[in-house]
Amino acid sequence: MNATLETTQTVPVKEPKTYLTEGHTLKSWLLTTDHKRIGLLYLYSLLVYFTIAAIAAALMRMELITPEGDLVTSETYNKLFTIHGTLMVWFFLIPSIPAVLGNFVIPMMIGARDVAFPKLNLLSWYIFNAGGLLALYSVLFGGVDTGWTFYTPYSSTYANSNVVTMAAGIFIAGFGTILTGLNFIITIHKMRAPGMTWFRLPLFLWSMYATSVIMVLATPVLAMTLALMAIERIWGVGVFDPKLGGDPVLFQHLFWFYSHPAVYIMILPGMGVISELITCFARKKIFGYHFVAFASVAIAVLGFLVWGHHMFVAGESVYASVVFSFLSYMVAVPSAIKVFNWTMTLYRGSISLETPMLYALGFIGLFTIGGLTGLFLAAVGLDVHVTDTYFVVAHFHYIMVGGMVTAFMGGLHYWWPKMTGRMYPEKLGQLAALIMYIGFNLTFFPQFVLGYLGMPRRYHAYAPEFQIYNVMSSAGASILGVGYLLPLIYFIWSLKHGKKAPANPWKATGLEWQTTSPPPKHNFHETPVVTGPPYQYSPEETEMALHQSTNEKRAAP
Amino acid sequence: MKFPLLPDEASEAARQTDYLYWAMIGISVVTMAVVFVPLIIFLFKYRRGKKADRSPVELPEMKIEITWTVIPLIIFTGLFAWGTKVYFKIERPPPDAMEIDVVGKQWMWKIQHPEGKREINELHIPLGRSIKLTLASQDVIHSFFLPEFRIKQDVVPGRYTSLWLKANKLGTFHLFCSEYCGTHHSAMTGRVIVMEPAAYEAWLMHGETGPSLAQSGERLYRELGCSGCHENSTIVHAPPLAGLFGRTVPLQTGQFVTADEGYLRDSILLPARDIAAGYTNDMPSFQGRVNEEQLLDLIAYIKSLGAPTPNNSPTEAK
């Protein structure tokens, strides 16, 4: 008894332990089962994959400044776009919001101490990185030149590159994705705090739930498809190569049966983040909560039924194309509903334009353009002309970069104080968001025109009349690069020099804000009890508080 | 400096596609206005610290939600119908179309005209005539893309695909491979040259002209020994080929199949697959013994055999 008293007296006032100060050894990180630490582990590894994939993109944009293939060889160029596609899709976009932000905030948002299976969560990270390292090995030692789509029979018979190693990497990483999805589904089902009913869940959780279902159901199909492709390549078992009695279009059916739902893995979590940001920075309850929630579910379900729209000119039947076209229009409806509801949420709000909100507004703008150009592609007659051109490249970058990456950046800024206990520099944050927005549009908008003019994608050299738009695009990419580097620098800077973050810097209503920043190891000292719906913001009170504080400031001197 | 927005329109189909494109752009602009104008107004009007009426209002949520669900639904259905209409127009070749064969291989396009003229990475066509291209691939998937005609079609190994066009403009236009096919994918390009019909006829006769495709096919038919079984005089019971093309063929399984290019191709390469009713599978596979161009020659020959002779009952095909 005396001894404990003595220690408390000799040690100066100590800050309460947070999840970051629970052990500083490498082991304490690599063997952690804390969902928050695992979220950060994902963040670090994603940064590596993203950087390599971004360098590949930068080299491609440099090559494309001139019509001639003069900077790198065709072989190298083909490897560059394969690095860019595979790493960005499987090792950055798919895990981005789910594995980093999802891992970090899902348990806190529902008032839980951790995910349902913390050890499995750590295992997912190891599996993911085992796959990632294999993928990195395959691109850095020899390279892969099939593109991220691995179309047969090129991949299975003709390509002379590390196809099987790369496929194995993606195959393995897929199990990490499946386990993460499983963990989230069970966590959301079983770990909710008392009073946290389904319709009191923040919308981020609805979208993460829908995403997790897709992860669990779709990823096995990818694993199967890549395995079949590898079996054909290694042992010559005829599945896809017509010379061996296979059907190359079958590969595309299987591949897109996974990859189209995967597109929704790459946007639904972003939509969830936006619902959190818009409500918080407009101080408004979300407009049409149920519609936004069920729109996520509808997207997840319909997303499984539209894969054939990638194959309108691939040799599928005319009537299949027509049906897939119709279903593709249908899946656009719930996305439209979300955009309308976000806009309506701003009505009579008290809107402040901090960095996360700038990203959220950027998301609405870019996602709307991405969605509308999706309508062009869903029209079979028009798709015949623009498919496999830069129009498609521009469209999916608007969704995946303009949408998902923008939402990821918004969410990262929003939860940064919670994750690190530090504030990022606000003015620089706003500047970076603006730079990213300008750079993004300059990079990708010209590509719509380029595509309609007829420039095919994956072209190392191109016809001279396409040059002007390629130069614009490359110029935009360099601005976009600055927009990514700047946050990287000030985020690192803020870890040491940033202002200390209060528990709830945004005065947000989510449960994750009711604990300290950064939170203790088990998130809450007492399990919170939920008594009402989410987003109980009041714009009037916010305005009143603002008035009072300005009046006090005026009165102070 | 030029900022072109559209490629040339070299066919009526191109024009139809462009109409749809402009309509889509129009709808997109209106939709963006519907979303962004209120959004920007709200951003200014309800900016924190600005005086505005922020008292809570009861909006008829259900009515609003239904409105902005149903209106897009109607617009989307309309776009779907329009897109499908354009598609049917560019998908179905008119029956009188002239046929030209195209073989894609890493990394070139080989084109053969029925009269026997062969060219590489260039496609000469006459103005104002419907042309049906039969596309075959020797190796991987390619895609035959003509931006000035707004059409493309993947060229898939192991089967025939087709594409049709009718040029209404003289000139030279792009031909691109638009499905990634390996190292020199971006060099697998060529030109379409639209000529006056008379100039086209002259071009066909000019320079190196081999035998017609059907003649080459007939020579192969003899050399490969097809004639040994498929002509009436032989002991082996094989279906006669005269008049086969285009007919409905009953199969051993009780199913029926139309004897189109794809069926003939399969019958030569995979004879065991679809056996005509009344016959046994005695035919060897010619997989690996004929290349794509030779296959197309053989099919051209079978097509040239014309109408069935009166004593050939339709059930005796193959």
Q: Do domains B98-205 and B213-316 have the same CATH topology?
A: no
* Partner B contacted by A14 (CB < 8 A): no
Q: Average pLDDT in the A135-147 region?
A: 93
Question: Which residue type is seen at A277?
Answer: L
Question: Nearest C-alpha of chain A: how many angstroms from B291?
Answer: 12
Distances (CA, A) of B218 to B221, B282, B298: 5, 21, 7
Lowest pLDDT segment from A140-154, A216-230, B258-272: B258-272
Contacts of A557 (CB under 8 A, 6+ apart): none
Contacts of B108 (CB under 8 A, 6+ apart): B120, B121, B188
Which chain B residues are within 8 Å of A332, Cβ to Cβ? 72, 76
Question: Nearest C-alpha of chain B: how many angstroms from A338?
Answer: 10
* Partner B contacted by A121 (CB < 8 A): no
At B249 the pLDDT is 87
Helix (H) or strand (E) holding B236: none
Sign of CA dihedral A121, A126, A132, A134: negative
- Hey, where are the domains in chain B? 9-37+61-92, 98-205, 213-316
Contacts of B257 (CB under 8 A, 6+ apart): B248, B249, B251, B263, B274
Convert B130-161 to b/e letters by CB count within 10 Å (16 or more is b).
ebbbbbbbbbbbbbbbbbbbbbbbbbbbbbbb
Across chain A, what does the average pLDDT equal?
94
> B20–A381: do the CB atoms touch at under 8 Å?
yes
Task: Tell me the residues of chain A between 311 and 370 that have a Cβ less than 8 Å away from chain B.
Answer: 312-315, 318, 321-322, 325-326, 329-330, 332-333, 336-337, 339-341, 343-344, 346-353, 361, 364-365, 368-369
> A315–B161: do the CB atoms touch at under 8 Å?
yes
Q: Are strands B171-177 and B190-195 parallel, antiparallel or unpaired?
A: antiparallel
At B213 the pLDDT is 87
pLDDT band at A16 (very low <50, low <70, confident <90, very high): confident
Over the stretch B260-279, which tens digit does the pLDDT of each residue have?
A: 888 888 888 888 888 888 88
Q: Whole-model pTM?
A: 0.92
Tokens representing B205 are 């006769």
At A438 the pLDDT is 97
Q: Are B121 and B191 in contact (CB under 8 A)?
A: yes
> B87–A321: do the CB atoms touch at under 8 Å?
yes
> B76–A332: do the CB atoms touch at under 8 Å?
yes
Query: What class is the B213-316 domain?
Result: mainly alpha
Over the stretch A442-470, which tens digit does the pLDDT of each residue have?
A: 999 999 999 999 999 999 999 999 999 99
Helix (H) or strand (E) holding B119: strand B118-120
Q: So what's the ipTM on this one?
A: 0.91
State the alpha helices, DSSP H only, in B46-103: 61-91
Radius of gyration of chain A (CA): 24
| CA–CA gap between residue A43 and residue B302 (Å, rounded) | 64
* Of B214 and A49, more confident: A49
At B274 the pLDDT is 83
Helix (H) or strand (E) holding A123: helix A118-140
| CA–CA gap between residue B110 and residue B114 (Å, rounded) | 13
Question: Nearest C-alpha of chain B: how many angstroms from A101?
Answer: 27
Most A-contacting residue of B18, B45, B46 (CB-CB within 10 A), to test interface:
B46
The CA angle B171-B173-B176, to the nearest 5 degrees, is 165
| CA–CA gap between residue A442 and residue A475 (Å, rounded) | 7
The CA angle B9-B15-B19, to the nearest 5 degrees, is 130
Residue of B nearest to A350 (CA): B48
Residue of A nearest to B173 (CA): A454
Lowest pLDDT segment from A292-296, A481-485, B111-115, B163-167: B111-115
Q: Are strands B161-166 and B122-126 parallel, antiparallel or unpaired?
A: unpaired
Q: Which CATH number fits domain B98-205: 1.10.275.10, 3.30.70.360, 3.30.70.3270, 2.60.40.420?
A: 2.60.40.420
CA dihedral B221, B227, B228, B229 (to 10 degrees): 120
Domain annotation for chain A: domains and CATH numbers: 27-555 (1.20.210.10)
Which chain B residues are within 8 Å of A147, Cβ to Cβ? 180
Residue A425 phi, psi (nearest 5): -70, 115
Which chain B residues are within 8 Å of A348, Cβ to Cβ? 46, 52-57
B133: which strand partners?
Answer: B100, B163
3-class DSSP state for residue A278?
Answer: helix
> A382–B159: do the CB atoms touch at under 8 Å?
no
Q: How do the pLDDT tens digits run along chain B, 318 residues long? A: 788 999 999 999 999 999 999 999 999 999 999 999 999 999 999 999 999 999 988 899 999 999 999 999 999 999 999 999 999 988 888 989 999 999 999 999 999 998 888 899 999 999 999 999 999 999 999 999 999 999 999 999 999 999 999 999 999 999 999 999 999 999 999 999 999 999 999 999 887 777 888 888 888 888 888 887 887 656 777 888 888 888 888 888 888 988 888 888 888 888 888 888 888 888 888 888 888 888 898 988 988 887 554 444 444 333
